[in-house]
Structure 1
C-alpha cells in the first residue's frame, strides 16, 4: 500500500480483523464501498466479476463496478446519489471532481407500505426506571430549568448559575483550573520549561455532595433571541422553550423576562397551552422591569427556584414501560461508514422502540434529500405525506433562494471521509429512521404526541437539530458519528455512537457505544440494534451516564427560521 495513502487515510481497522474489503449496500448499486484502504492496481473480486482498481481508494470511499458515461447516474443505497461529470472507467474512485449531486424526484404518496415488525419478544416485558409526570409522560432524568425569554436576561441567568451550581453540588470538576494554578507557580520559579513539564491531573466527576439527591441538575439556557430579528423568530423561540418546559425530563422551571421584548410572557404561555393545555409543573415567571432592581429580581428568583427544586426533589424513579421512551435520532460528524454501521443500528433500535409502542424522532430535513419519496410512501396517510413534501419543498426553495441549496450540506470532514454529495450523505442518514411507518410529520417547534416514527423539520446542523428534538419531547437522544463530535443537550441525555472502532479507541472520552464490529463483519445490524436498546434502557434508568452528560456538554442553539443546513 502506498505510504502517502497510509499517511492521509490510516486504516480503519487492522487488516487482520477485517473480514471483507468492500461492501455493496444495495443490489441496484453501481459502486462499492471500500472498507479498508485499497491500492492502485489491486484486483477486487465481486460477485461473478473482477475489478482492477485504476487508482488508490481510501477506506470509506466508493468506486465504480462498471463503466459510467458522462451524465449517467451513480446509484447507491438503491437510489440516485449523483451524476458523472466525465466518463468513468470500471474501478474509478468517485470524487467531488468527477460526479455531482443528483437525486430522485418525489411526488404524492404511492402504493401501500407494508412494514415488517422486528422481533420484540426480548423487550416486551422490560421496563426502565423513570420520573412519572402528571400528564402521563415519563422522564429519564429530573432537571430544573432556568431560561431567559430574551438575551438581555442572559447575564442574570449566569449569576443564578454561579450562585447555585457549586453550593448544590452540581458543578463539574475542572482540572484545568488547577493546571493554571500550577503554571503560575512554575513560571515564577523555573520559567517556560517548567511549565511544559507539568502534567494534567484529571479531576473525577462526583455527585456525592449533591444537596438534592433526586435532581440530576439545574440547567441554564442562554441564547441570542427574543427580540430584534423577525417576529417569527421570537414565536419559534417561545414554542421551543415551551417544549423544553414540557419535556418529561424537566420537573419545573424559572423564566426571566425583561418586559419589553418581542418574546412576551403571554406568548410563552400561549405556546405552553398549545403543547399541553393541562400543564401543571411548578413554573416561576419573573419580569425585571416589574421587579425593579437586579438585586430584587435575582433574590426573588433564587429563593423561589430553591423552593421549587425542593419540591422537585420529592420525586423518585419508578418503573415505566418502554412505550414511554421518546428517542431522538441524530447524526453529526458523519463518515463513509455511518450509513453502513451506526445509522442502521440506530434504525433497528428505532424499529424496536416503535414496535413496543414508543416514539422516535428523525430530523435534519436537508439530510433527507433524495429519500423523500421513500419516506412519503411510508407515511400513514395522505395528509401526513403532503405535509412532509411541502415542508421539504419550502425548505429547499428558501435555501436555493440565497444560493445555499441542499447540495452544499456536506462539510469538509464529510467529503474527506467519503460523503461527497448530499444525496450520499442523506441516503445514509435516513437509515436512522429504520423501516417503520411514518406516523406523523412535525414542523419546528411542534411537540410529539403520536406513537411511532415522527419526522421533525430541523436544519442538519447538529446542535440546532438536537436542540429541536429535546424541545419536541425527546427524553433520550441517539447521536451517531464517524469523525467524533462532542455534542450534548442540557435536558436530554445524548448517547454518542461511533461508526468505526478506530474512532471509539481514539476518542473514548466522548464515545458511548461502538458499531465498528459491523464493518469488520463480526456482528449484524440487528445484534447491534438490540445491544443499543439495552444501553438505552440503562441510560433511561439512570444506571449509565452518557459521556456528554458527564462532561457537561449542554449545547443549545435555537433555529432562526432562516437558512441553515
Structure 2
C-alpha cells in the first residue's frame, strides 16, 4: 500500500512511500496522476481546487488554500494555510462502545500502594528547591548522594574523555579512540527498593509575578504528592516569593491527608552552606532508609494513570503511533483507569470532536474557556496556535496546526471526556481527562505528571530525547526508520502499521502489555535508563 485516504470526506491523500512526479498511483478504485514528487508522510490533492477553498483531512477542515491547485499536486506551505472549523457545545450524543478487555480482566501490575490508596509505578525520593537560588545546592546534594548511593550515570562518556586525554598528544592518536560500550560501569544500589533519587531545578520562586510563584507552589506540591514519590527534601533560601508556608499550604490543599516524609531546610535559618548540606544529606539518607522498606504488590490495572504525549511529530504520527496509543487509552479506560490528554495548542482544529465527547455542559464550557483564553494570550504575545508546528513537523508533512492537532488528538482514543483540568489540577475521575498545558514537550509532560500520570506514552516520528524525573516515559516510534536510526531512545515501534503488517488494535494491545511490564519495574524504559529527567514549569500564555 502506497497511499492512505484517512476519511471519505478528505480531499487530500497521504503518501506512505516516496511517490514521484509523472507517475500514476491508485487509492481504492481511483487513480491519480502526480504533478509533483510527493515525499512519504506528505499529502497530495485529489481534485482541482480554487484559492480560498477548504482543505479536508480526518474528515474536518485542516487548512485553506492560498492559491489554485490541481489534482495530484503537493500540499505545502506555499498553497495551504491553517484553518479550522469553529466550535461550540451542542450536547452529548456519543454512543461509545468500549473495546473488548476480557483478556485483561484478571491482570495486574506490581506497584507501590500509598497510604491514600493511589498506586505508584516507581518509588522515588524527590529533592526540590523553592527558588532558583537553591539550584546550586540541589546540585551539591546530587553530587554528594547520587553516585555514592548507586544512582549515578553511566561512566561511558567519562571513560571516553579520559581515553582522549591520554591520547591528546597527536590528532592521529585521537582519531583512533573509540566510544566503547564495554566501558560502562554501574554501581550497585544501596537502596534496592528505591528506584532513584531525583533532583528538580527551575528558574522560578522569586523575581517574577506573584502568580508565577503561586503556580510553581502548586506544581511542586503536585510532584511531592505524586504516587511515584516516597518522600521529599525541600531546600529553601528563606526570603523568596515562594515561601515554605505557601508550598505547605498548596500541598495540604491538594491532599489534606498528606503523610509522606517532608524534610524542609532553610539556608538563611540554618546558616552556613556546610551546616545546610550536612542536615539535608543526613536526613535525606535516613528518609531513604524508610522508603527502602516499601515493596511492590499486585495492583489492578485500573490504578494506572497514563499521560499521552507526542513530540518530534511527523506525517505518520496521526496514522500509526497516535491511533495505537489511542486504542491503548480506550483499553485502559474500559478497565477503569485514567488517561490524560493535554497540549491545548495541539488540539486546535480538533475542538468540536472533543466537545461532542463531553458528558455535560460545565465540562465543555470549561474547555472552551481555557482554549479561548490560552489562544488569546498567545495572540497578545504576537503568536498564535497556528504557529505551533515546528520546522521539523512541517518538513515531515504536518503543514498546518490543524493537521498536527487532529493527529495528536488520536492519542486520546474515542472514549467520553470525563473532566477538563487546568494546569496542576489533579485527575480524580476514572476515564479520559483533558489537561491544559502547552504543546512544548517538556512543559507538557511536566504538567501531565502534575495531574497524576504514573506512566507517560510519548510518540515521536523524528526522535525526541526527553523524559520526566518521576514518571517513567515510554517512547513510541511512528516509523521503522526512526526505530532503527535512534534505537537507543525508542521502546516500541509502530512502523508495522505503515507497512500493513499490524493493525492499530494489535499495536494498542502490545503497548498496554508493555505498560504493565514497565509499571511493574520488569522493563526499564530507555528514557529512564538514559536519565532523561526533564522538568520545565509553564508560565501561562508564553509557550506553544
TM-score normalised per structure 2: 0.99
Partners in 1 of 2:305 and 2:184 — Cα distance?
Answer: 28
Q: Deviations over 1:497-523 (max 9, x none)?
A: 000011001111000000000001111
Partners in 2 of 1:483 and 1:199 — Cα distance?
Answer: 27
Alpha-carbon deviation of 1:469? 1.0
Please point out which of 75, 100, 120 is paired with 2:56. 75
What is the count of residue pairs matched by the alignment?
544
1:521 aligns to what SS in structure 2?
A: coil
Alpha-carbon deviation of 1:204? 6.9
Q: Does 1:240 align with 2:201?
A: no
Q: Deviations over 1:276-323 (max 9, x none)?
A: 110111110111111111111111111110010000000000000000
Please point out which of 97, 105, 108 is paired with 2:78. 97
Gapped regions of structure 2 (runs ≥ 5): none
Q: Does 1:127 align with 2:108?
A: yes
Please point out which of 43, 53, 65 is paired with 2:34. 53
Partners in 2 of 1:509 and 1:354 — Cα distance?
Answer: 30
Q: Does 1:264 align with 2:264?
A: no
2:207 aligns to what SS in structure 1?
A: coil
Q: Deviations over 1:443-480 (max 9, x none)?
A: 01111111110100000000000111111111100000
Q: Deviations over 1:141-175 (max 9, x none)?
A: 00000000000001111111001011111101131
Q: Does 1:467 align with 2:446?
A: yes
Alpha-carbon deviation of 1:206? 6.7
Q: Does 1:342 align with 2:321?
A: yes
TM-score normalised per structure 1: 0.95
Alpha-carbon deviation of 1:561? 1.5
Q: Does 1:155 align with 2:136?
A: yes
Provide the residue aligned with 1:291 in structure 2. Answer: 270
Partners in 2 of 1:167 and 1:456 — Cα distance?
Answer: 38
Contact kept in structure 1, 2:24 and 2:32, CA below 8 Å: yes
Partners in 2 of 1:361 and 1:209 — Cα distance?
Answer: 35
Provide the residue aligned with 1:9 in structure 2. Answer: none
Alpha-carbon deviation of 1:110? 2.9
Contact kept in structure 2, 1:173 and 1:203, CA below 8 Å: no
Provide the residue aligned with 2:489 in structure 1. Answer: 510
Provide the residue aligned with 2:2 in structure 1. Answer: 21
Please point out which of 289, 297, 307 is paired with 1:328. 307
Gapped regions of structure 1 (runs ≥ 5): 1-19
Partners in 2 of 1:351 and 1:33 — Cα distance?
Answer: 25
Alpha-carbon deviation of 1:59? 0.4
1:99-248 equivalences in 2 (<5 Å): 99-188=80-169, 191-202=170-181, 209-248=188-227
Please point out which of 425, 428, 435 is paired with 2:407. 428
Provide the residue aligned with 2:434 in structure 1. Answer: 455
Partners in 2 of 1:106 and 1:276 — Cα distance?
Answer: 35
Provide the residue aligned with 2:16 in structure 1. Answer: 35
Alpha-carbon deviation of 1:49? 2.6
Contact kept in structure 2, 1:495 and 1:546, CA below 8 Å: yes
Alpha-carbon deviation of 1:381? 1.1
Provide the residue aligned with 1:309 in structure 2. Answer: 288
Query: In angstroms, what is the RMSD of aligned CA positions?
Result: 1.0
1:414 aligns to what SS in structure 2?
A: helix
Partners in 1 of 2:193 and 2:324 — Cα distance?
Answer: 32
1:122 aligns to what SS in structure 2?
A: helix
Please identify, of 219-228 and 48-57, the stretch whose mean Cα deviation from structure 2 is larger. Answer: 48-57
Contact kept in structure 1, 2:340 and 2:448, CA below 8 Å: yes
Alpha-carbon deviation of 1:111? 4.4
Partners in 2 of 1:70 and 1:513 — Cα distance?
Answer: 41
Alpha-carbon deviation of 1:403? 1.5
Provide the residue aligned with 2:335 in structure 1. Answer: 356
Partners in 1 of 2:165 and 2:275 — Cα distance?
Answer: 39
Distance 1:246 1:462, change over 3 A: same
Partners in 2 of 1:248 and 1:478 — Cα distance?
Answer: 18
Partners in 1 of 2:383 and 2:59 — Cα distance?
Answer: 26
Provide the residue aligned with 1:407 in structure 2. Answer: 386
Q: Deviations over 1:468-497 (max 9, x none)?
A: 111111110000000000111100000000
1:187 aligns to what SS in structure 2?
A: coil
1:252 aligns to what SS in structure 2?
A: strand
Alpha-carbon deviation of 1:207? 6.0
Contact kept in structure 2, 1:34 and 1:60, CA below 8 Å: yes
Partners in 2 of 1:270 and 1:468 — Cα distance?
Answer: 20
Contact kept in structure 2, 1:481 and 1:498, CA below 8 Å: yes
Distance 1:387 1:174, change over 3 A: same
Distance 1:306 1:511, change over 3 A: same
Please identify, of 320-329 and 179-188, the stretch whose mean Cα deviation from structure 2 is larger. Answer: 179-188
Distance 1:401 1:377, change over 3 A: same
Partners in 2 of 1:203 and 1:28 — Cα distance?
Answer: 55
Provide the residue aligned with 1:523 in structure 2. Answer: 502
Contact kept in structure 1, 2:92 and 2:360, CA below 8 Å: no
